[in-house]
Chains A and B, each alone.
Chain A
Amino acid sequence: MLRDGVAYFSSLKPVLLWTDALVFMLVAVIAAFAVYARGKEYLRAPWRKVFASRGGMVAAVVIAVYAAVALLDSVHFREPLENKGAEGETFYTVEVISLLDLALGPLRDQVEKTYSAPFATHLYAKETVELPDGSSARIFPRLQYGGAHLEDPLRDKAGDILYRSLSGAGAGLLWWVVLSGVFVWGMARRAGEPFRATLRKVLSGETAIPWHAMLYTAGFFLVLTGMIASLAGYYHIFGTDKVGQDVLYQAIKSVRTALVIGTLTTLVMLPFALLFGLMAGYLRGWVDDLIQYLYTTLNSIPGILLIASAILMLQVYIDTHPDLFETDAARADMRLLFLCIILGVTSWTGLCRLLRGETMKMRAAEFVQAASAFGVRHSRIMSRHLLPNVMHIVLITVVLDFSGLVLAEAVLSYVGVGVDPSMNSWGNMINGARLEMARDPMVWWSLLAAFVFMFVLVLAANLFSDAVRDAFDPRTHSK
């Protein structure tokens, strides 16, 4: 079996999309920053405060779950086709899939004909079916996969769902106990304490980092995952959409889109905001005038107009150069990347203005003057003296902006200038729901699924950003 697995993976053709590369680069940057920050007390101190905040850490666990999903969904490859070419060369499917798709196998493959409600065993629309006796009737036919194992859905469904969710929850609980046991054991070993003492400390919340709250959150997710895992093979938990695709699968696949928009946009925006903000505030004079004019002008153009025109132009370019993109996924990915870039270009002005003000205040500080008296170069003054002292503003802004960007994606996709229609995203799901809500009987589950997933992420991001702001904002420090 292991050999099969290895053989399968070695037969795959890895595909590195642009956004994948940038996502992994971002992960590397964050890891590098963490290593760097370990050595700097002034960087560690506020983070310790973040780690000590219960709400912040619970939110961090939620975000980590989303991030794990997004990372799994960022390892892309193409499967080989069965039939080889004339010279034995391998052909690959045009469909690009990710590790997440492999993990969600049944969800992806079990496609129904059209709409079906959550946990339904029958389609949501009547069809004319030919009965075994030769006559035809308009009935709600049974689903191909959802509840297909039940002999009499009316009689068995409730009990089956209950049994499966309980057994799934039990499995999740078991996993949680084993994993947290291993975790606490590791902690005990590092601290050189007996296991029981560490366990007692963790459970009563006496640790510096609120591990108990984090473990309970992780437990909640494990139980939930267990339930979903045991149900998903047999039911469509969030129903299916117009073409019969599982809505839960779409919602999970949308996580990556949202996170990519929320983080990569920041990555695009930061260099502009940092460089221009610091230069305007420190160098003053004509540089300041120029940068101010630039961002005032940019700010006075409606952002949506700029984004719409840029995206539409890009779409025309993509459509006229089909040869540049090997797969559909690459095309959708290019549009996603471009959306990040254009969002970044239109959103750096706010942070830039904040940084300019803060830098102007700081350039009069005596330590900056002392550095000039030593003949320290402008570039070094900006990077060594000013940048570290405005970093808290950058961090607070970035974390606060994240949830705004996730919501912006939904709005843009709804308007039609967001991500590619073929790409899974909450915005596209909501956009689709526009028609479904007007239908009778109403199809509400797409909207609900998108809403639940987005709400949890945005709430967690906001809670986390509150914790970060409390820790980093110098005004909240008590001396």
Chain B
Amino acid sequence: MSEILLSVRGLSTHFLTQGGVVRAVDDVSFDIRRGETFALLGESGCGKSMTSLSIMRLVPEPAGRIVAGEIHLDGQNLMDLPEAGMRRIRGNRIAMIFQEPMTSLNPVLTIGEQIAETVRQHRRLDGAAARGVVLDLLDAVGIPDPRQRYGEYPHQLSGGMKQRVMIAIALAGEPDLLIADEPTTALDVTIQAQVLALLGDLQKQTGMAVLLITHDLGVVAGMADSVAVMYAGQIIERAGKEAFFRDPRHPYSRKLFDSLPDVGKRGHQLAVIHGAVPSLAREFKGCRFAERCDEAWDLCHEQAPRWYDQEGGRQVRCHLLDPTLAARRPASHAAPRDGTGQAQPCREHGQAPLLEVENIKVHFPIRKGLLKRTVGHVYAVDGVNLSIARGRTVALVGESGCGKTTIGKAILQLIRPSAGSVRFEGDELTRLRGEALRRRRSDFQIIFQDPFSSMNPRMMIDEIIQEGMVALGIEKDAAARRSRVEELLDHVGLPREARHRYPHEFSGGQRQRICIARTLAVRPKLIVCDEPTSALDISVQAQILNLLKQLQNELGLSYLFITHNLSVVGYLADEVAVMYLGRVVEYGTVQEVLEQPRHPYTQALLSAIPVIDQTTRREVIRLEGDLPSPSSPPSGCHFHTRCPHAMPVCSQRYPQSTALSDTHRAHCFLYGDEE
């Protein structure tokens, strides 16, 4: 047996659409060795998922078609196999897990049956023997109490558990190659750490190879042996992991690293890649990245670069690496168009708090029965204190379901808090009703996570941006409103012609800019940013973060930044509040929380984030289990069920706030309880 397990040569997959031929995968070649983890890295829409579907020969026909290329698995060309032969390969030799564990499982079959189905198919086992194998598999993927879980249905499991079941199904056929398509993107960081560790362990035990498809540089750094970077349907750089992370060669790879936000880049502008990923429906003449590349010159637009072999078997597709061509490059292009220029230092504003939130609670009643009696509550937010000064950014961090979005909405009075007070410039918002509240609404605004659903698809940009001004009576005069719209579009970096277009004509990043323009239209003092960049690609995320930072400097805005991405927090925030199950467990300045986390949950959260620089990697504190349900939170400290330092007292009462410094507070018995 040769060392190469899978060899892809010149693979091209095209899609026929109304807009013409989309070259989703265009002349892609790579090799995967036995037992290695090969990462395919790229932004959304670059063709990485289509590459994996092509390998499985699962391209949705007849719209899509593999037009060229060979795929050799152990020397056998999969393209020559009939469909029946391919069915023996799928599951047996190559298995696949998908991004969305929620929709990959059949909701009406128990998970045991779903795994057993694959076992029966591939190992020709039946009855008790199959059941035994299934139980072993469930055990292998770390699902506690397999006998109990065998008869449960997918809806009874959490997201992380479902992904484990998916992995168990994939393993049932004892594949040589596992294709993992964004296996952890839909999961929280602590769960992501569990699943990635599981994949690593299983790989060691079974010796299978993994084709890992992801957009997350951190995941690649933690898992991969070799890396291929994909851009616009092509692979543009191939390298071993160490070499790649030490010294990315292609300008696109380098920019990707530069545009990642982190603490070290505070106060600086992030490097951005201009524009967006090009449409794959067009013909490319030169280098596909040329339009967005700072180092491109005439040649790049005219001639597509070939592969240039570098030391250590790495290959890069860029003219810069050809010494004869690079020498002919005009000198004026040497300087980047705009790089990591120093941003204006953040102006310090008066410390008078703009917003003060005290002991805010949001409880949603659970109603049951004919008369809709309240039988319990979901304690979405359960006593949170926050304060935001003018011109400052407070980040609210936590896993999904911890109530951070609910707080944002409760502050804006989009959801009425059940108890507590929200004071904005001294006014108690919870007591304002009707017209009085409407008048204040221009002061606090919100930017949503999903730029696709946050604008009415039936309204033009002009109307969308004017809506707030009209509703709040900011500009009474129509002409003044129009000129203000143009001013705002200039401000967020969009052309003025955008006014007369509809939201669907814009890309995700542009839409987020429009959303920002819309909130700015009413001249707010505070903006709640609810995961504004998590639906965007890395390169676009940097553009939006830069814009938010610039607006803060110019307009003195305050942000409540809700996110699960701690590197964004490090880059943008001044203070951080870490939330767990409806309560803030730790609060402090960015330096304090990110560098000296004290609460065990914060520590675990920080350690679970995949980091690029492997030398600074902390030891991962593996959290067991999932987030408990907010309708029946654990007694005492909510975290004690998963805490590695849990003490008897933790399950009895909730720890009071402990001041660790003037600005740093934590709720944990490890640091004493001041009452």
Contacts and interface: CB of A to CB of B under 8 A. Distances in A.
A376 B458 contact: no
A377 B471 contact: yes
A197 interface: no
A350 interface: no
B280 to A, nearest CB: 14
Given A373-B445, A374-B522, A375-B438, A367 B471 contact: no
Contacts of A377: 471
A366 interface: yes
A207 interface: no
Given A42-B458, A366-B453, A369-B409, A374 B502 contact: no
A42 B457 contact: yes
A478 B414 contact: no
A366 to B, nearest CB: 4
A321 B573 CA distance: 80
A365 B515 CA distance: 14
Interface residues on B, range: 20 to 34
B499 to A, nearest CB: 14
Contacts of A374: 441, 445, 467-468, 471-472, 522
Contacts of B454: 365-367, 370
Interface stretch (A339-347, A383-391, A404-412): A383-391
Nearest to B468: A374
A372 B439 CA distance: 13
B211 interface: no
Nearest to B415: A369
Interface string B43-76: 0000000000000000000000000000000000
A389 B471 CA distance: 20
A380 B467 CA distance: 10
Contact of A370 (B448, B457, B472): B448
A41 B503 CA distance: 12
B446 A41 contact: no
A115 B467 CA distance: 69
B437 interface: yes
B104 interface: no
Contact of B502 (A41, A365, A369): A41
Nearest to B528: A373
B455 A367 contact: yes
A373 to B, nearest CB: 5
Given A365-B453, A375-B437, A388-B458, A370 B17 contact: no
A353 to B, nearest CB: 20
Interface string B400-442: 0000000001001010000000000000000000000111011
B471 A369 contact: no
B498 to A, nearest CB: 14
> What is the interface residue range for chain A against chain B?
20 to 34
B459 interface: yes
Given A376-B467, A376-B471, A367 B453 contact: yes
Interface string B440-479: 0110011011100111111100000001100110000000
B471 A380 contact: yes
B518 interface: yes
Contacts of B409: 369
B437 A369 contact: no
A371 interface: yes
Contacts of A380: 471
Given A42-B458, A377-B471, A380-B471, A370 B446 contact: yes
A380 B463 CA distance: 13
Contacts of A365: 453-454
Nearest to B17: A478
A346 to B, nearest CB: 27
Counting chain A CB atoms within 10 Å of each CB, the highest count among B409, B438, B471 belongs to B471
Contacts of A376: 467-468, 471
Contacts of B467: 371, 374, 376
User: Which of A41, A369, A373 has the largest number of chain B CB atoms within 10 A?
Assistant: A373
B411 to A, nearest CB: 11
A213 to B, nearest CB: 21
Contact of B456 (A40, A41, A367, A372): A367
A475 to B, nearest CB: 15
A370 B502 contact: no
A373 B454 CA distance: 12
B174 to A, nearest CB: 37
Contacts of A370: 446, 448, 454-455, 515, 518
Scoring A376, A385, A388, A389 by chain B CB atoms within 10 A of each residue's CB, the highest score goes to: A376
A371 B18 CA distance: 34
B471 A375 contact: yes
Given A366-B450, A380-B471, A389 B502 contact: no
Contact of A389 (B437, B456, B515, B518): B456
Given A42-B502, A375-B471, A375-B472, A369 B446 contact: yes
Interface string A324-359: 000000000000000000000000000000000000
Contacts of B17: 478
**Residue from the set B18, B412, B455, B467 with the largest chain A CB neighbour count within 10 Å:** B467
Interface string B114-145: 00000000000000000000000000000000
A272 B468 CA distance: 30
A365 B454 CA distance: 7
A380 B470 CA distance: 11
Contacts of B439: 375
A371 B455 CA distance: 9
A369 B448 contact: yes
B64 to A, nearest CB: 12
A290 B418 CA distance: 26
A7 B459 CA distance: 53
Contacts of A366: 448-450, 453-454
Nearest to A385: B456
A478 B515 CA distance: 26
Nearest to A367: B456
Given A42-B457, A365-B453, A388-B458, A373 B412 contact: yes
Nearest to B515: A370
B374 to A, nearest CB: 15
A365 B414 CA distance: 13
Given A370-B518, A373-B414, A389 B438 contact: no
Point out which of B449, B458, B467, B515 has the most chain A C-beta atoms below 10 A from its C-beta. Answer: B458
Interface in B498-517: 502, 515
Contacts of B438: 375
Contacts of A388: 456, 458-459
Interface string A104-138: 00000000000000000000000000000000000
Nearest to B504: A42
B370 to A, nearest CB: 12
Interface string A452-479: 0000000000000000000000000010
Contacts of A40: 458
B451 to A, nearest CB: 9
B457 A389 contact: yes
Contacts of A478: 17-18
A385 B502 CA distance: 14
A42 B458 CA distance: 7
B17 to A, nearest CB: 7
A285 to B, nearest CB: 11
6 contacts: A374-B441, A374-B522, A376-B467, A376-B468, A385-B458, A478-B17
Interface of A: 40-42, 365-367, 369-377, 380, 384-385, 388-389, 478
Q: Which 3 A-B pairs have the closest CB atoms?
A: A366-B454, A374-B468, A375-B438
Interface of B: 17-18, 409, 412, 414, 437-439, 441-442, 445-446, 448-450, 453-459, 467-468, 471-472, 502, 515, 518, 522
Given A370-B446, A375-B472, 19 more contacts: A365-B454, A366-B448, A366-B449, A366-B450, A366-B453, A369-B409, A369-B446, A370-B515, A370-B518, A373-B445, A374-B467, A374-B471, A375-B471, A376-B467, A376-B471, A385-B456, A385-B458, A385-B459, A478-B18
